[in-house]
Amino acid sequence: MATHKVLAKKVIEIVNRKYNANITFSDVQIKKTLPEFKGDLTVVVFPFLRYSKMNPVQTGEDIGNALIDELNEIDSFNVIKGFLNLALKNDNWGETLNKLVANDKLGQLNKENPNKLIVEYSSPNTNKPLHLGHARNNFLGYSVAEILKASGEKVIKTQIINDRGIHICKSMLSWQKFADGGTPDSEGLKGDHFVGKYYVEFDKHYKSEMDELIKNGLTKDQAMQEAPIFKEAQEMLKKWEQGDPEIINLWRKMNQWVYDGFESTYKAMGVDFDKLYFESDTYLLGKKVIEEGIQKGVFHKKEDGSVWCDLSDEGLDEKLVLRKDGTAVYITQDIGTAIERYEEFKIDGMIYTVGNEQEYHFKVLFLILKKLGYSFFDGLYHLSYGMVDLPSGRMKTREGTVVDADDLMKEMILSASKATEEKGKLEGYSKEEISEINRMIGMSALKYFLLKVDPRKGMVFNPEESIDFNGNTGPFILFNCVRTKSLLRKYGSEDYISATFSSPTEKEKELISKLSEYEKTIQLAADNYSPAIIANYCYDLAKEYSQFYASHNILNEEDEQSKLFRLNISSQVGRVLAKGLQLLGIEVPDRM
């Protein structure tokens, strides 16, 4: 079977030779032939008319005849208006399938000069547990990193842990005031849940104090700044930055509770990191860079002592980089972190996986790094993703009305357990096997649902819809992947390897064509930082295979050569689905 690349190369050669043109790959459009027309691949002829000086049909026939003469894989052609439909010789389908079989590095692309890239994701605050939004962030960042690795790049997975700042002090102050010395163990809570409880408690008291001040005549903005509990938190932040031993010890103790909680959540999510950065370290470098930037004229200090960067020349406004009391803001540590990472790894680029509410922040960060003279700013990219809502509406962190990531994962696994029990899918398995399979099914439902949508779009997560074994879901793809394994086990031999067939059906051709697109799909997903491209490819392949399985005899096929050919196709479908799901962070059981 002529691959898109081989066919495009030959079309370029023919058009340039016949019409004295100078077209390139960007001028050649090759698509799958529409079902209502005869053919396998279609070349769009319109871009060549300016060179051929002929009408679309004449140009298509001219190129088609040359392809028949010069490309052995082409069997016949027809021209419909400006579309050249090419039918491929049947023996090419078997050859294409066996090239996939022989490629022991299928799905791992090679690059002569790979880029060294950092992918940042998760990057939580240490004042609360991870929630549904963090789940999308983690699954998205992890998957993008794996896809970039598969495309041949060198990737370092990182996170910046936001372990300092006013929000952290709010949890610490609340614990001092309301916990009565309690600990995660004494209250029977995971450490991150325990600390998050006191963050919510702070907000309740903060709002109460604000309401009282507003009743006494202050505006809302004034009340926000004058509430006693907020002032105490600000004072605690100053003491922290001054190195107060008591505050530092409390900070270390409470952060460790959170880190222990995060560790178990990441393990359940199936994500990992190559390098961790802590805001408590990098903000110091950021402050140093800002002091140097003042001398260079990049930043200016106002009368109240606050430091700003004027970005009006770039169509933006002024950006605060240090508060008047000398304490750092988010962008302070982001400047320090970016510089530290570059100096440590000499990276070519960095992808920040952060929600779209921070688009302005990253635009400012990249411009500041440019003003500071760092050339690596060209390789910085904000992977801006949409927020996740629920059918019931938006989540609100401070009020404690969030969907906790730990609870969500448990609920998805429980839903998988109920679904498999109702369908009787796991009868005869041990309790341990059933538990592990249900874990994989539940997590596949969650990950796939959050990744199948283009990252830039907001989405509504529907747990019930995500677990459906018959829809555009993780469990549906998982089931068809496992079905191929079951089929090959039942056959009990590897005679099918490299089996070919001279008369494949249309559905068999469609499956082989889809399989041959896998590596091109990886590159497309890498270029767009979009796991959704891999997710939807896997769904399309699983759907094609499900239809093939329903309409074709496989183990009961009387013609032995046809049976082996179909087993060979099934084997490659299972292989490609497993590889694609792996890029999404989804595990595949042997049975289900």
Quote the CA–CA distance of 213 and 225 in Å, as a whole number.
10
| Per-residue pLDDT tens over the stretch 131-184 | 999 999 999 999 999 999 999 999 999 999 999 889 999 999 999 999 999 999
- Please give the DSSP secondary-structure letter assigned to residue 164: -
Q: How many CB atoms lie within 10 A of CB 110?
A: 8
pLDDT at 427 (0 to 100): 83
Phi, psi (rounded to 5 degrees) for 545: -70, -40
Residue 440 has pLDDT above 50, yes or no: yes
pLDDT at residue 165, rounded to an integer: 87
- The domain 442-583 having CATH identifier 1.10.730.10: the answer here is yes
CB 487 within 8 A of CB 493: no
pLDDT at 347: 93
Q: What is the pLDDT of residue 73?
A: 86
Cross-strand pairs, 404: 131
Is residue 377 within 8 A of residue 334, CB to CB? The reply is no
Report pLDDT for 396. Answer: 46
Residue partners of 332: CB distance under 8 A and separation at least 6: 283, 286, 287, 290, 321, 322
Matching fold, domains 4-89 and 442-583 = no
579: nearest Cα among 227, 104, 193, 141: 104
Instruction: Kindly state the DSSP code that residue 588 receives in the 8-state scheme.
Output: -
Residue 398 has pLDDT above 60, yes or no: no
**Residue 35 CB contacts under 8 Å (≥ 6 apart), including other chains:** none
Question: Under CATH, to which class is 4-89 assigned?
Answer: alpha beta
Q: Where are the domains of the chain?
A: 4-89, 121-389, 442-583
Please state the rounded mean pLDDT for residues 113-124. 96
What is the C-alpha separation between 215 and 290, in angstroms, rounded? 41
Q: What is the DSSP letter of 25?
A: G
Q: Please determine, for residue 476, whether its predicted confidence score (pLDDT) is greater than 80.
A: yes
Q: pLDDT at position 400, please?
A: 45
pLDDT at 401: 53
Burial class (CB in 10 A: 0-12, 13-18, 19+), 186: exposed
The predicted structure's pLDDT at residue 138: 98
pLDDT digits (tens, 9 = 90+) for 11-36: 999 999 999 999 999 999 999 899 89
**368-383 residue pLDDT tens:** 999 999 888 889 999 9
Considering only 68-72, 279-283, 398-402, 508-512, which range has the smallest mean pLDDT?
A: 398-402
**402, pLDDT greater than 80:** no
User: Using CA atoms, how far apart are residues 2 and 152, in angstroms rounded to an integer?
Assistant: 24
Whether the pLDDT of residue 1 is over 80: the answer is no
pLDDT at 417: 94
The least confident of 106-110, 132-136, 387-391 is: 387-391
- What is the model's pLDDT at position 375? 83
pLDDT of res. 423: 81
Residue range 385-407: mean pLDDT, rounded: 71
Residue 189 pLDDT = 96
Task: Check pLDDT > 80 for residue 4.
Answer: no
Q: Which CATH architecture has domain 121-389?
A: 3-Layer(aba) Sandwich (3.40)
pLDDT in tens, 529-566: 999 999 999 999 999 999 999 999 999 999 999 999 99
**Conformation bin of residue 118: beta by default, left when phi > 0, alpha when psi is -120 to 50:** beta
Phi-psi region of 114 (alpha: psi -120 to 50; beta: other; left: phi over 0): beta
In degrees to the nearest 10, what's the CA dihedral of 307, 310, 315, 317? 40
At residue 425, does pLDDT exceed 80? no
**Percentage of the chain lying above the pLDDT 90 cut:** 85
pLDDT of 3: 66
Tell me the average pLDDT of the chain.
93
pLDDT attached to residue 283: 87
What are the two backbone dihedrals, phi and then psi, of residue 262, each rounded to the nearest 5 degrees?
-60, -40
pLDDT (average), residues 247-251: 97
> Of 359, 384, 405, 538, nearest to 457 (Cα)?
384
What gap in Å lies between CA 161 and CA 238, rounded to an integer? 20
